[in-house]
Amino acid sequence: MKILFVCTGNTCRSPMAEAIAKTILKEKGITEDEIQVSSGGLWAMTGESASLQAITVMENHGIDLSVHRSKPLTREMVLSADLILTMTPAHRSGVLSLAPETAERVFTLGEFIQGETEANGGILDPYGQTVAVYEQCAAELEDKIKNALEIIINRQDLLS
């Protein structure tokens, strides 16, 4: 199974989500052969590093995000993913404009775990904010990603 996290610039939320998901999967003994995780940004520049605050917060969680380089989201990335999890409803719309045929596998992270339309606007962008705001974002991501991965792991039909 291939999971793709999507945000705006692929320097804050989606790389943190990717790193958190990979860490949780590794802790559960799930290999990349079973579940692959990646990220991209709808308006990302190629090769930008993660934001300094994102690197700092992930480092505080024992995760090295310093090697991350941003990737612009492409139609091919979307088509090759089994599950696309976006940070906001606007990101979901952006993904669907790239590949409308993937509608049944594109969700905001909140929609996926709650099974309903996300009313709160999704995971807010911490870009340019303080480390404390990034820490709040990382905590929200970790909580939602744990729930999402439990759903995926418990639904064996999603892994086939």
Q: 69, 82, 105, 125: which is the annotated catalytic residue?
A: 125
CA–CA separation, 23 vs 44, rounded Å? 24
Catalytic entry in 12, 13, 92, 137: 13
Is 137 in the active site?
no
Amino acid 147: pLDDT: 96
pLDDT tens per residue across span 10-64? 999 999 999 999 999 999 999 999 999 999 999 999 999 999 999 999 999 999 9
pLDDT tens digits along 65-84:
999 999 999 999 999 999 99
Active site residue 13: yes
Count the domains in the chain: 1
Q: Which of 7, 12, 92, 137 is catalytic?
A: 7
- Looking at residue 19, which CATH number applies to its domain? 3.40.50.2300
7 among known catalytic residues? yes
Domain that holds residue 90: 2-159
Answering whether pTM is above 0.75, one says yes
Burial of 140 (0-12, 13-18, 19+ CB in 10 A): middle
